[in-house]
Structure 1
Amino acid sequence: MTLFQLFQYISENPWPLVFYFLLLPFLAWIVGILANGSLDVKFWSYVYAVLVYAVCIPGIFAVTLNTYLFLFERQSIWQANIIMQFLPVISMALTLMLIKSKIPFSLIPGFGRISGFLTLIAALIGVMWFVDRIHLVAWTYVPFSAILIGFVLTLIAIRFAWSKLF
């Protein structure tokens, strides 16, 4: 099965995916109500970790896919599939906001790895887009160390922006 066939199948049967991405913010809200005032922070942090991974993995995939389609494939926004391209991102943002209102992300096991993974993906897509847009022949007089420093500064800026976002 190819990715195209999977997307075509989901387009023909969207309700399981819609239900999944509507269920995750609802579960985050319910867990927030149940965990309110509980002293067992460790247990609830693991419950939130499951929710974070369940929503962030498809959400990060959707962000990456959207970036690829819009920057490299030049897909029109009018041809975007709302259920597969936007619903995971909206669900991820809403779920993370609900979780952040109840527990700091620093208490959720593995959250730093997800944000690091997102930073790496964003930096790699940024570098790929930059290389796609420039003609390396025109930039040969720039020392490689300057390009490397620019890449590292981009990574730091993306990481800082991500930490301030949530």
Structure 2
Amino acid sequence: MTLSQLFQSISENPWPITIYFLALPVIAWVVGQVANGSRDVKFWSYIYAILVYAVCIPGVFAVTLNIYLFLFERQSIWQADIVLQFLPVISMAITLMLIKSKIPFTVIPGFGKISGFLTLIAALIGVMWFFDRIHLVAFTYVPFSVILIGFVLTLIAIRFAWSKLF
């Protein structure tokens, strides 16, 4: 099964995935209400970690897919699939806001891994977009190791900026 076939199958029957993405913020809110006043922070941090991963993995995939489709494939916004391209991002944003209002992200196990992964994806897409736009063909005597060091420094700069942003 290709990604196109999977998306076509979901588009033909969107209700299961729609219910999934609508249920995640509701579950986050319910967990927040149940955990309110509880002293067992470790237990609730694991529950929130499950919710974070359940919403962030498809949400990050949808963000990456949207960036790819809009920047590289030149897809029109009018052709976007609401269930597959926007609902995961909206659900992720709402769920993360609800979770952050109850517990700091530093307490949630593995949350730093998601932000690091998102930083890496953003850096790779940015570099790919840059090279796609400039259509650069250069014959140079710059060793590949210097280019690799420049890329690593770019990742470090993006990671630093990301940590200062949030």
Task: Look up the SS of the partner of 1:101 in the other structure.
Answer: helix
Between the aligned partners of 2:89 and 2:31, the Cα distance in structure 1 is 21
Percentage identity across paired residues of the two chains: 84
Map residues 101-112 of structure 1 onto 2, 5 A cutoff: 101-112=101-112
Map residues 115-126 of structure 1 onto 2, 5 A cutoff: 115-126=115-126
Aligned to 1:68: 68
Q: How much does 1:124 deviate?
A: 0.7
Q: How much does 1:131 deviate?
A: 1.2
Q: How much does 1:140 deviate?
A: 4.5
Task: Look up the SS of the partner of 2:102 in the other structure.
Answer: coil
Aligned to 2:8: 8
Task: Look up the SS of the partner of 2:135 in the other structure.
Answer: coil
TM-score, scaled to structure 1: 0.90
Aligned to 1:94: 94
Between the aligned partners of 2:36 and 2:158, the Cα distance in structure 1 is 33
Give deviations 1:19-68, integer Å, cap 9, x for gaps: 00000000110111111110000000000000000000000000111111
Residue 163 and residue 95 in structure 1: after superposition, are their counterparts in 2 closer, same or farther (change >3 A)? farther
Aligned to 1:32: 32
Aligned to 1:19: 19
Residue 61 and residue 11 in structure 1: after superposition, are their counterparts in 2 closer, same or farther (change >3 A)? same
Q: How much does 1:133 deviate?
A: 1.2
Letter in structure 1 aligned against 2:111 = F
- Compute the RMSD of aligned alpha carbons: 2.0
Query: Runs in 1 of length 4+ with deviation above 6 angstroms?
Result: 141-146
Between the aligned partners of 2:76 and 2:164, the Cα distance in structure 1 is 30
Q: How many residues align?
A: 166
Letter in structure 2 aligned against 1:29 = W
Letter in structure 2 aligned against 1:115 = S
Structure 2: unaligned runs, 5 residues or longer: none
Q: How much does 1:137 deviate?
A: 2.6
TM-score, scaled to structure 2: 0.90
